[in-house]
A and B are shown apart, each in its own frame.
Chain A
Amino acid sequence: EAGVTQFPSHSVIEKGQTVTLRCDPISGHDNLYWYRRVMGKEIKFLLHFVKESKQDESGMPNNRFLAERTGGTYSTLKVQPAELEDSGVYFCASSPYWTGSYNEQFFGPGTRLTVL
């Protein structure tokens, strides 16, 4: 079974440009999460989709970040315009249908974003 995949693995852009990150969750997983790790800091929650709906986007830093999940399958995270402080590793995770208790999240390899 394929794991969570993310594209691209690395992205280097200039301040003010736009970048779109993509995540393909494990097939059949209803839940999709985006996280970000800034250098040396904790992995921080950004948002949570259940199928195509945003369940919780309390971690999104500001309105320069836009996440979508078309048809409840893959998800994209767009940063427009990118700022220097957006640099970090963006992780995507997925988990199966939530039964109301703990549900393990499976992580992708991450996209390393560098904004110059």
Chain B
Amino acid sequence: DQQVKQNSPSLSVQEGRISILNCDYTNSMFDYFLWYKKYPAEGPTFLISISSIKDKNEDGRFTVFLNKSAKHLSLHIVPSQPGDSAVYFCAASDPGNQFYFGTGTSLTVIP
């Protein structure tokens, strides 16, 4: 049973525009949410996180929004750049620090 879901396998956006990646989860016990970025032949690298007690966290061009009532989070990238093209994984951490990942969304930023 998948506890973290990314329903969009792929997304294409024009350079300079906003990229919005979405993620839904089912377990209300998750206390941290993370986004990882993965390039081909590399491991996932940490991008940004948010605590379950917050609803927004911003780091440069990247902002993560959390809607606990809807069990939904999203990653906004503004402005999108070609180097942002990668697979983005949404992840959630339970109080035991066990991570649960979504299936990933492949983002392509078109120059």
Contact = CB atoms under 8 A, between A and B. Distances in A.
User: Which of A35, A40, A95, A104 has the most chain B CB atoms closer than 10 A to its own CB?
Assistant: A104
Interface in A1-41: 4, 6, 9, 31, 33, 35, 40-41
B32 A108 contact: no
A42 B102 contact: yes
Interface residues of A, number: 28
Contacts of A93: 43, 99
Contacts, number: 60
Contacts of B31: 101-102
A103 interface: yes
A56 B96 contact: yes
A48 interface: yes
Interface of A: 4, 6, 9, 31, 33, 35, 40-45, 48, 56, 91, 93, 95, 98, 101-110
Interface of B: 2, 4, 9, 31-32, 34, 36, 41-46, 49, 51, 89, 91, 93, 96-104
